[in-house]
Amino acid sequence: MTSIALTQFSHGGGCGCKIAPGLLAEILSRAPQGIVPPELMVGLETSDDAAVYRLNDNQALVATTDFFTPIVDDPRDFGRIAATNALSDIYAMGATPIMALALVGMPIAKLSPDVIAQVLAGGAEVCREAGIPIAGGHSIDLLEPIYGLVALGLVHPDRVRRNAGGRVGDALVLGKPLGVGILSAALKKGLLGETGYAQMLRHTTQLNRVGITLGSLPGVHAMTDVTGFGLAGHLLEICRGSKLSARVTLAQVPLITEAVTFARDGIVTGASGRNWAAHGDLVDWPADAPPGMQALVSDPQTSGGLLVSCAPDAVQDVLAAFRHEGFGQAALVGELTEADPSAGSRIAFA
């Protein structure tokens, strides 16, 4: 670990520093409509993970950007986590990344060139693992450290996997366990031990490249990654985009063991409360849910897992793809259901 604690410079870390869902929706509702060319396959309409632009009959360009303030103190680990998280949006669309640009904002008077270089090195390390170059970028002097990527990828137009293609009866499979945001809260309070930190780092730096394989499976109808709005928030995006509802079995949701303990003790992020305030009225919550579980399903995940909506007969293929790529805790967590026309999209946890 470095002697510089990066989290001391940030008011919130990782995807937990995203603008709250309700406020973001209000801001976007007031933004003017831009040009929408016919080649734009995916834009702002369903809050998808990336934009998709058709280049020709065989190729579509996938473009996204993601950056945030430090979720950990170690600069190299911060860079690795931020880069992994940014590339996840490419994989969530079923695409293969081809190139990235770095986005860097650092308090130059407070951080040494060596520390900043370690952040960049961490990001470059992940991009090498993904097989792509960081071909440029932009940097500014800023009060809080931020780092992330503009990521570009390619996919066949027929293999684009949106968050809006779910079908009634589809199974829901989650690739990574929940609890990263809670571990980050424990870290900032000085409560996270070496084992917990190792778990946090393992999950946040595991590339979601399995999305490429999942996008090629005909039984996969919709896909997204679970990040700053938590499982409930991102599942609601699938439901709204697909005009459906969902049912989730809490006992089947994979969780990080250390995070469960912290959640029971009330150690959670402020963002989980903001997330619940934004979508809690659209959730049917069981009275006998385990303590801390509400915070876990609304916990902001940094570099979280892929959430897949697939035909029931494709579940084993989806789980096999996850297992092959090292996602040992991937699990079937629920299903998509008909939405009540009068109530709209909802999630029923049981």
Contacts of 163 (CB under 8 A, 6+ apart): 46, 47, 48, 49, 222, 223, 224, 234, 237, 238, 241, 242
Distance between CA atoms of residues 121 and 125, nearest Å:
6
- Whether 148 contacts 66, CB under 8 Å: yes
C-alpha angle with apex 164: 31 to 55, nearest 5 degrees?
Answer: 75
- Whether 256 contacts 180, CB under 8 Å: yes
3-class SS at 212?
helix
Tokens of 84: 């992994």
- Whether 325 contacts 211, CB under 8 Å: no
Distance between CA atoms of residues 330 and 314, nearest Å:
14
- Whether 222 contacts 314, CB under 8 Å: no
Residue 105: CB atoms within 10 A of its CB come to 18
In the annotation, is 310 catalytic?
A: no
Q: Which amino acid is at 40?
A: L
- Whether 294 contacts 233, CB under 8 Å: no
- Whether 238 contacts 282, CB under 8 Å: no
Distance between CA atoms of residues 130 and 108, nearest Å:
29
3-class SS at 282?
helix
Tokens of 324: 């092959």
Q: Of the listed 15, 17, 239, 310, which one is catalytic?
A: 15
Helical H runs in 139-269? 180-188, 194-204, 210-215, 230-242, 257-264
Burial of 68 (0-12, 13-18, 19+ CB in 10 A): buried
Backbone angles phi, psi at 315, to 5 degrees: -60, -45
Residue 164 gets which letter from DSSP? S
Q: Which residues are tagged catalytic?
A: 15
